[in-house]
Amino acid sequence: MLDNSQYIEKLRSSGLRPTKQRIKICEVLFNSEKTFHFTINELVKRISKSTNEKISLATVYNTVHAFKNKGYLKEIPINSDQSYFDTNTSHHHHFYDETQKDLIDIDDADVEPVKINTRIPGKKIKSVEVLVKVEDDKS
């Protein structure tokens, strides 16, 4: 399969050997037209739907963390209930719909650059992320 070569490369560069379980995880994560947000549980469900053989939770966690560390996935801090991940690794911000419990990308072009006029000595900025919480407008 031609497509798999991309997955194999992603896995190798994350320090993982390309096994069939891991390639299946890649297919679910990176084969879709659009990027998406997910929790581990949601990802496991997606994987179950798209294959007969099941992949253990430990393998899913390990692979997701390796990709996150390599930068192929981002973790989005929303609350302390569960980890949210994002297959969109470009710089962008988020709406979080508290009614639907849904994360929505904000196109980076739709946000004016965030200017912070103070620094912490000896520290450098790794990321600047905006989280806009929204709820149903009943007015």
Partner DNA sequence: TCAACAGTTTAGAACTATTATAATGTAGAA
Partner DNA sequence: TTCTACATTATAATAGTTCTAAACTGTTGA
Contacts with a copy of itself, residue ranges (CB under 8 A): 75, 77-83, 93, 95, 97-99, 104, 106-107, 110-112, 114-118, 120, 122-137, 139
The whole-angstrom separation of Cα 61 and Cα 57 is 6
The whole-angstrom separation of Cα 59 and Cα 54 is 11
Closest approach of a copy of itself to the CB of residue 129, in Å: 5
Closest approach of DNA to the CB of residue 64, in Å: 8
Residue 34 binding result from Zn ion, DNA, a copy of itself, none, given CB thresholds of 5 to 8 Å by partner type:
none
Per the DSSP assignment, residues forming a β-bridge with 94 are 105, 131
Give residue 105's Cα distance to chain centre. Answer: 11
Q: Provide φ and ψ at 25, rounded to 5°.
A: -60, -45
Nearer to a copy of itself, 45 or 130 (CB): 130
Among residues 52, 79, 118, 139, which is the contact residue for Mn ion, using CB under 5 A? 79
Burial of 40 (0-12, 13-18, 19+ CB in 10 A): middle
Nearer to Zn ion, 4 or 88 (CB): 88
Does 29 bind Zn ion (CB under 5 A)? Our answer is: no
Q: Give contact residues for Mn ion (rule: CB under 5 A).
A: 79-80
